[in-house]
Amino acid sequence: MTEVKGFRFATAEAAIKAPGRKDCALILSDTPAACAGVFTRNKVIAAPLIVSKPRIAAGRCQAVLINSGNANACTGEPGLEAARRSSAALAELLGVDEDLVAVSSTGVIGVQLPVDRLTRALPALCAELATDKATAVAEAIMTTDSFRKVSSRELSLGGVSCRVLALAKGAGMIHPNMATMLGFVMTDAAVAPQLLQPVLNQAVNGSFNSITVDGDTSTNDMVLMMANGAAGNAQVQPGTPEAEQFACAVDEVLLDLAKMIVRDGEGATKLVQILVQGACDAQQARIAARSVATSSLVKTAFFGEDANWGRIIAAVGYSGVEVNPDVIDIFFDDVQVVADGLSTGPQREAVATQVLKQPEFRVTVDLKLGEGSAYYYTSDLTYDYVKINADYRT
């Protein structure tokens, strides 16, 4: 399912990337949609975010212009001007209010956006608009991604069939607070505007903010959700079962995309869930899970398919959370390798090594101190990660 009522999509070549590569995309709602957004917490913020944030904060959005190949970050006043010019040109072409246009960029930092090329491509882009081109958009916004990322759910809200469709890009620099990560969620459900932001926040926390590839956070990250009501359902109100259903669907599509991003982590060969339970509280569990998920030593051990739990216990230990080393349990999937802080022996470790040979598995760390639990998804750290990132601009 890659169509959502009342949304159209388009892609084009603006010659920002090399010839033959689609590098700009458009998402258009037939009518102004209610919207919500989550943005990078990096203090260095790219021009398109500076332009789009207040527009999205106003709560309505109709069109999103996205380019890949150039982040329009660290580009100063000319960069801001470029973001404004491209959104103004698109608004004029579409005949919509400029404040209803969001712009989004991803790619190299510190190089001026070739805005003339981008605006010249806009008529072709608008001419391409069609209901069935969401996957093409997912492809055009890729940078180091090796596959496009699309997820969707259908759900019945008050007896009316509604859809949630989400696209994302992101492979390197993926870390909480979303690093070089763009996400777009389109729904044809009618949803009370005040419900959108909390639903998006919760879904982002459980997905894009619970993954890590390399711990960096970019200047350009954003997740934008638009709800245009084209499905014709009665508007979903806060505190109702429908609100719960809708939030679940958004949670699910974003978690799908987040896992795809980790799986596509630069050079990654493994998708690993780090589950910390038994922490004093959920916040402590999250800090400990993140510490394990971001440890280069843990991640290289995953690549080496080495059940090296010493590195895991060390990463928990230096995370700063409350721990009692003498009670910790550690499992690889269901295989326990540490019981009360001690090795369960070489035989169990040999079995655990088989778990690590899988492309996906879970590491559970039970601190046995309280009720707090949290997860992170991470990848292994591989030769190819180094290769891709050493050569990115060359």
Residues at the interface with its own copies (CB under 8 A): 41-45, 71, 73-76, 108-111, 172-173, 177, 214-219, 294-297, 300-301, 303-304, 306, 308-311, 313-318, 320-323, 325-326, 338, 340-343, 381-383, 385-387, 389-394
Can you spell out the DSSP letters for 124-169?
HHHHT-BTT-HHHHHHHT-SS-SS-EEEEEEEEETTEEEEEEEEEE
Q: What is d(CA 24, CA 87) in angstroms, rounded to the nearest whole number?
A: 13
Least distance from its own copies to the Cβ atom of residue 82, Å? 13
Q: How far is CA 98 from CA 8, 94, 101, in A?
A: 18, 10, 5
Q: What is d(CA 327, CA 346) in angstroms, rounded to the nearest whole number?
A: 20
Please pick, among 40, 119, 180, 364, the residue that the annotation labels catalytic. 180
In what side-by-side order are the strands of the sheet with 342-343?
A: 211-212, 372-379, 271-279, 360-366, 329-332, 335-339, 342-343
- At which residue do the structure tokens 């959920």 appear? 282
* Complex with its own copies: residue 94 or 369, whichever CB lies closer: 369
Under a CB-based contact definition with an 8 Å cutoff, are residues 358 and 267 in contact?
A: no
* Complex with its own copies: residue 177 or 205, whichever CB lies closer: 177
180 catalytic? Reply is yes
Under a CB-based contact definition with an 8 Å cutoff, are residues 281 and 370 in contact?
A: yes
Q: How far is CA 285 from CA 272, 320, 328, 337, 373, in A?
A: 16, 11, 13, 20, 5
Least distance from its own copies to the Cβ atom of residue 152, Å? 31
Least distance from its own copies to the Cβ atom of residue 394, Å? 6
Take residue 380 and report the two structure tokens written for it. Answer: 């292994």
Least distance from its own copies to the Cβ atom of residue 318, Å? 4
Least distance from its own copies to the Cβ atom of residue 223, Å? 17
Under a CB-based contact definition with an 8 Å cutoff, are residues 251 and 203 in contact?
A: yes
Least distance from its own copies to the Cβ atom of residue 366, Å? 15
* Complex with its own copies: residue 41 or 58, whichever CB lies closer: 41
Closest CA to 128 of 14, 9, 3: 9
Least distance from its own copies to the Cβ atom of residue 70, Å? 11
Q: Check residue 218 and report its DSSP letter.
A: -
Provide CB contacts within 8 A for 197, sequence distance 6+: 36
250-268 residues labelled b (16+ CB within 10 A) or e (exposed): bbbbbbbbbbbbbbbbbbb
* Complex with its own copies: residue 193 or 317, whichever CB lies closer: 317
Least distance from its own copies to the Cβ atom of residue 209, Å? 13
Quick one: which H or E segment has residue 235? none
Take residue 1 and report the two structure tokens written for it. Answer: 């399912």
Can you spell out the DSSP letters for 189-203?
S-B-HHHHHHHHHHH
Q: Check residue 346 and report its DSSP letter.
A: H
The catalytic site residues sit at 180
